[in-house]
Amino acid sequence: MPQDLDNSYGQLPARFYTRQSPDPVAAPATLRLNQRLARCLGIEPEMLSAEVLTGNALLPGSDPLAQVYAGHQFGGWVPRLGDGRAILLGEVTGDFGRRDLQLKGAGQTPYSRNGDGRAWLGPVMREYIVSEAMHALGVPTTRALGAALTGETVQRERRYPGAVLLRVAASHIRVGTFQYFAAQGDHEGLALLLDHAAQRHHPDARTPMAFLAAVTKAQAELVAHWLSFGFIHGVMNTDNMTVSGETIDYGPCAFMDAYHPGTVFSSIDQHGRYAFNAQPNMALWNLAQLATSLLPLMQGDADAAAEEATEVLEAFSPHFNAAWQHLHRAKLGLTTEEDGDEALVMGLLSRMASSQADFTATFAALRDGDASAHVTDTDAWDSWAPDWQARLAREPGDPSQTMARANPILIPRNHRIEEAIQAGLQGDYAPFHRLADALETPFDPAPEYLDLATPPRDDQRVMRTFCGT
Ligand code: AMP
Ligand code: MG
C-alpha cells in the first residue's frame, strides 16, 4: 500500500470511541477479495491477505477502535448501542476523498452487550452480494472490499462457520451518533461531530441547519433509488442511517420479486414499520430525530430554530418526489417531463400489483416493448400500454437506451442469495462467486448468467429474512 491508513475519527476526543483491537481468529481463509475496489482505493490487493481480512494482521497505520452511538430501534430509544461487532481500522484517502475501512464480525467490544462480536457466513455473504450489487445499480452504498472465514464457529440457532467482512464506507457516522451526544447533553461533542461529519460529507453545509438540509436531500434521493429497484432495507433504525447518504447495514434486506407496495421481509418487522412503501416516511422520521439532536447547536431563539428545522424537513417530500419521478420516468424510457407522467407510472405499478407481476422482470421486459407476459391481466395491460406508446412517440431520443440504463436484468434475488448461502454452508462457494460476478453488470449481464434473472418458482420463493447477527 502506497500510504499508511489515516485516522481522522481517532483524533476526535476519547469519548467518541473505545480503542479496541480485533480479536484474533483461529484459521483465516479468504472467501472473496474485491480486487477492483482495492485498486480504486490505492491498495495493492496482495496487501489484503486472509490475515488482514480477519483482523489477525493490521494494515500499516491502523488505529483500531469501536465507535459509540445510540439509536431508535423500531421506534424504541436505546441510549447506547455502538460497534458491538465492528472495528474501524482507519481511513484511506485519495482523489476519491476519504473512506473508512471497517471489519464487521471482528470480536467483542465494550458495546457488545450480550453479543459475541462475531458474524457468520450467511450475513457476510448477503452483505457482500447485496452491497456490491447496489453499487453496480448506481445506488449510494457502503461496499465490500473482502470477506474471509475465521476457521471458528458461531453459535446462533445452531453452529455456523464464522466470517468477517471488510467494509468500506464514506464514513460510519449515523443519525444515532448525533443522537448519542445530544442525549448526553454533550454539546461540545455534538459540535465536534458536526464539524467532522460536515467536512467529510457536506463541505458546503457547515451550519447545523445547512447540514440537516444536506442530509435530508441525500436521504430523500437514496430512498427514491431504493424504491426504483424494489429494494427493502428492512431495519431502518436511526443507528442504521448514515449522514453521508449511503445505504448501510444489510441485515434483513431484500429485493422484491412480485410487486406489492406493502411488502415486508424482515422476520422482526412484525408491524410492517419498514415495509417497502413506508420507507420514505421512516427516513423522514429518522431525519426528525437528527433535527432534534442538532437543535442545541442552532443559533438564536429556540422556537424559531425549531420552526426553521421543520421547514427544512418539509423539503424531504419535494426532493423525494423529484428523484422518484426522474428515476421512474427513465424506467418507462422517458427523459423529458410531461404532466401525465406520474399517472402513467402509477398506472403501471397498480396493474403490476394486481397481477403480482415481478418488479424487475416487468421493467426489464419494457425494454423489449412488451411486459404483457408479466401483467397477466390482459385488460389491465391493454388499458395502459397504448397511453405509454403514445407518450413514447413524443420522446426525442431512443427510449430503449434510457430503459436499458434504468431497468436492470439482474438483481440479487432472495432465493439465489439463499441458495449461495446454503451451498457455502456445505463448503461450496461457487454459487456465491457466480452470483457476485454476475451482479457486477446487472444492466447488461453475460448470457451465461441469464438463469439468475428468472423470478423464483412458488417453491423457491423466500418470504422471510432474518437479521444479520
Ligand atoms: P444491527 O441490527 O446489525 O444494526 O445491530 C444493532 C446493534 O447490535 C449494534 O450496536 C451492533 O453492534 C449490535 N450487534 C449486532 N450483532 C452483534 C453481535 N453478534 N455481537 C455484538 N453486538 C452485536
Ligand atoms: Mg447497525
CA 275 remoteness from chain centre: 15
Q: 370 or 220: which carries more pLDDT confidence? A: 220
- 32-70 pLDDT per residue, tens: 999 999 999 999 999 999 999 999 999 999 999 999 999
CA trace torsion 147, 148, 152, 153 (10° rounding): 30
- 326-354 pLDDT per residue, tens: 999 999 999 999 999 999 999 999 999 99
Residue that finishes a domain, picked among 169, 184, 205: 169
Question: 356-383: b or e for each residue (b if 16 or more CB lie within 10 Å)?
Answer: ebbbbbbbbbbbeeebbebbeeeebbee
Per the domain annotation, does 86 fall within a domain?
yes
Whole-number Å distance, alpha carbon 38 to ligand 1 midpoint, is 26
What's the pLDDT score for residue 469? 65
- Which of 23, 108, 112 is the best mutation target for the ligand 1 pocket, counting ligand atoms within 8 Å of the beta carbon and taking the most? 112
Residue 2, pLDDT > 90, answer: no
What's the pLDDT score for residue 337? 97
Residue 171: all three cell numbers together: 464514513
Residue that finishes a domain, picked among 377, 406, 435: 406
What's the pLDDT score for residue 462? 86
- 434-457 pLDDT per residue, tens: 999 999 999 999 999 999 999 999
What's the pLDDT score for residue 115? 97
Q: Kindly report the pTM of this predicted structure.
A: 0.98
Per the domain annotation, does 144 fall within a domain?
yes
Number of the ligand 1 atom closest to the C-alpha atom of 81: 10
pLDDT level of residue 263 (50, 70, 90 thresholds): very high
Q: What residue owns the CA closest to ligand 1's atom 22? A: 84
Whole-number Å distance, alpha carbon 389 to ligand 1 midpoint, is 49
Mean pLDDT, residues 95-121 taken together:
97
Per the domain annotation, does 354 fall within a domain?
yes
What's the pLDDT score for residue 142? 98
3-state secondary structure of 232: strand
pLDDT level of residue 369 (50, 70, 90 thresholds): confident
Per the domain annotation, does 382 fall within a domain?
yes
Mean pLDDT, residues 233-252 taken together:
97
Per the domain annotation, does 186 fall within a domain?
no
Say if CB 429 and CB 31 are below 8 A apart.
yes
HEC per residue, the chain: CCCCCECCHHHCCHHHEEECCCCCCCCCEEEEECHHHHHHCCCCHHHCCHHHHHCCCCCCCCCCEEECCCEEECCEEECCCCCCCEEEEEEEEECCEEEEEEEECCCCCCCCCCCCCCEEHHHHHHHHHHHHHHHHHCCCECEEEEEEEEEEEEECCCEEEEEEEEEEECCCCEHHHHHHHHHCCCHHHHHHHHHHHHHHHCCCCCCHHHHHHHHHHHHHHHHHHHHHCCEECCCCCHHHCECCCCECCCCCCEECCECCCCCCCECCCCCCCCCHHHHHHHHHHHHHHHHHHHHHHCCCCHHHHHHHHHHHHHCHHHHHHHHHHHHHHHHCCCCCCCCCHHHHHHHHHHHHHHHCCEHHHHHHHHCCCCCCCCCCCHHHHHCCHHHHHHHHHCCCCCHHHHHHHHCCCCCCCHHHHHHHHHHHHCCCCHHHHHHHHHCCCCCCCCHHHHHHHCCCCHHHCCCCECCCC
Whole-number Å distance, alpha carbon 277 to ligand 1 midpoint, is 26
- Which of 111, 235, 267, 469 is the best mutation target for the ligand 1 pocket, counting ligand atoms within 8 Å of the beta carbon and taking the most? 469
Whole-number Å distance, alpha carbon 368 to ligand 1 midpoint, is 44
Per the domain annotation, does 63 fall within a domain?
yes
Closest CA to 446 of 458, 457, 434: 434
Residue that finishes a domain, picked among 354, 378, 406: 406
Q: Which residues surround ligand 2, an ion (CB under 5 A)?
A: 240, 249
Structural domains in the chain (count): 2
Per the domain annotation, does 44 fall within a domain?
yes
pLDDT > 70: percent of the chain: 99
Q: Please list the active-site residues.
A: 239
Q: What residue owns the CA closest to ligand 1's atom 13? A: 84
78 bridge partner residues? 71
Least confident of 217-231, 274-288, 359-373: 359-373
**Domain range for 380:** 324-406
pLDDT level of residue 468 (50, 70, 90 thresholds): low
Name the closest ligand to CA 111. 1
Number of the ligand 1 atom closest to the C-alpha atom of 117: 20
Residue 251, pLDDT > 60, answer: yes
pLDDT level of residue 1 (50, 70, 90 thresholds): low
What's the pLDDT score for residue 346? 98
* Pocket around ligand 1 at a 6 A CB cut-off: 81-85, 111-112, 115-118, 235, 239-240, 249, 251, 467, 469
What's the pLDDT score for residue 370? 84
Whole-number Å distance, alpha carbon 67 to ligand 1 midpoint, is 12
pLDDT > 90: percent of the chain: 95
Per the domain annotation, does 439 fall within a domain?
no
What's the chain's average pLDDT?
A: 96
